[in-house]
Amino acid sequence: MAKPRVRAATRRIADRAFAEKTPALEPLPAMSHDVLRAIGRRGGREGRVPVGGTLHSVHGTARKRMLEVQHHASALRISEA
């Protein structure tokens, strides 16, 4: 069996420190957290918006407007803010 990991900053064994803090942890809420991240972006002149290094096409009427970009676990949603 491997040696238990000791944290350099606190010099405590990680498993024991986690076991001490476990009773104080709060359970997650029952609702799902669908949106991972929401950011505002401005559409470019060419009808594209940069998201994570990739240009995504937007409707022609959304050019130069402020857009809301939502990163979901399985999708990317771009809408007018």
pLDDT at 33: 63
Flag whether 24 is in a domain: no
Residue 54 confidence (pLDDT): 84
Per-residue pLDDT of 6-55, as tens digits, reads 889 988 998 888 899 999 998 877 766 666 777 788 777 778 888 878 88
pLDDT at 3 over 70: yes
Is 14 within the bounds of a domain?
no
Contact yes or no for 60/47 (Cβ under 8 A): yes
Domain that holds residue 55: 30-80
12, two tokens: 């405590």
Residue 62 maps to a domain: yes
How many domains would you assign to the chain?
1
Please spell the DSSP secondary structure of 14-79, one letter per residue.
Answer: HHHHHHHHGGGPPPPPSS---EEEEEEEEPPTTSEEEETTEEEE--GGGTTSEEEEEEESS-EEEE
Tell me how far the alpha carbon of residue 70 is from its chain's centroid: 9
Q: Is residue 51 part of a domain?
A: yes
pLDDT at 65 over 80: no
pTM exceeding 0.85: no
Is 73 a domain residue? Answer: yes
pLDDT of 32 reads: 66
The verdict on residue 19 lying in a domain is no
